[in-house]
Chains A and B, each alone.
Chain A
């Protein structure tokens, strides 16, 4: 491999080990830039040598998506771990991509603020990785997903060009929003180096209402909660599948959370109010195999019926229309058949079935998408040589 150029950048480079594998593909080296400029230098060097690059943050989702067609350099952003500026008075934070979401949360909490973005992993996930995979948690129902909270971004293109869009003010419509484009791009367009988010004050109070329902009750209760003027921040389901009952938990945040939670409990007719989140709240337990379903909330019943006999467990939001499916015990035998079966049932009701992670070949992970040709054109413009996480994303992008 042509590594001369890479060494000349002065950026720390080490040989890749078995822990650095991306979807089964072992990279040649791992580069550890410490600044935006160093990312740029590495990418310029890689461009010169025609090397394929996969960016990584905490590495929690490296096995998601397709394995890369090739991976010469793993670009590890762990050293870009500074919170650049927390402008508390403006409810804005600018952070480097390698900062873990936990560390960011701690820093913000000191000033009584938070980034209202829930992370599905207990630890390790970074800002950059969370953006690149666009993971969404329970409170997306109220606050939106990563792209809704991101107000500015610094990216480095495959040729080393550093580009910024947005800014450090919440309200801003100058120029195209590259932040939206890079959020959920799986490292296929370039490297996310810095991000600026809008923040929220930490809620004055939090309450959870926990109840158990049978499958047929869920949609009606969820619809009532979604329409409630008590404004819950999240409604989550946890269901082992099959004939087991479904646990439904409502989160109420803000002033008078206790009274509002009681009101919701009353409206549901059952449940208990607690100030502790259930242990599973918003977390992915085992993501060797992970499916995401997205659907119109009023189709929750169809979704639950379709999942019932798959042998998968379900966790997620019936009000935001987004749930994860994970295997309960043994991985299913005919996984491709299971996925196409789900698609067959859910596509007619407006649902989408995406395989986020699976150790199988020959599975259509994304399903059909009307805008795929446009997406390919975007990829061609940003990464004409197909060197950024090649083949990792939808349609082999």
Chain B
């Protein structure tokens, strides 16, 4: 069968109502049916019915950010998330990309999911930034990759176990993640402190790798499964029944492990904000007089349906003024590796989002995904505006400890 793993039943759930169109970032940019979820499902249908994957078709699938805003918007419950994953895998299987494109994809996928390799890249980041214009000329994707490089904070070593402050209320595992762990170590430190201050023993198994999210989202199923199995093993060995994740993309993938591995892992996966709201607050909140624009990371808001909890946690901080970002459901263009493979679209979406964020007049941009904050801050810098960025965990950490941000 040429259609491989794309499930026609999932395709037939689509009634073509178009409710997904306005939530789709690429449709928002280009206004073309083929670059909307409805159009992509139509393309999948064409393929399932026998049309081979053409470069045009593959291009429209590649252009999908996988933000899953359409899944939230769909009244018919179409599992576009599953469909696009199956389709990406199918495209990887049957479609031969042109050599230059292939080479770039190889570089990225041999780098990102592996923390140690990423670490090797770190000293080069400053250099990369200077090299960006030259890399841009070689391939726009390489330029984009260099342009995104964040200012890396000093590496923080996180202990294997952080004990609860005060009476212990729970024991949880914590995922450190690859990008998060390497580029934003302070977020992991803050996460561990917040959990501990709220009465959790936090177990942080060493030697964690990538959870497989980046590979899943790019159709590299085998790599994804390998990484997922390793992650499951690590936390099973650690003996926790709850794993708290602070990176939206990782959380959403780990919640789908059952699907990916055909077996449920022996632990629950929860996003940090989800878990904290479930647990309920005990620690004192100190005032933080700051205006905050909260950005809904797609993999949190759409893939995990978590919108209320981070807002609830933020508004509970005395003095904090939370502002809603217009068009909050539209992706910022970061979308995992998207800003690397589709630099132009990512840039346009980033600019659009930057404008929306700027319109709130907030001083601080908060989100649960480092990719998003990198992307939006970069776009704002391009537009000549500056905004401080923080992860939800860092804001909570500052409030709980009574320090300024």
Q: When A and B assemble into the complex, do they touch directly, with CB atoms less than 8 Å apart?
A: no
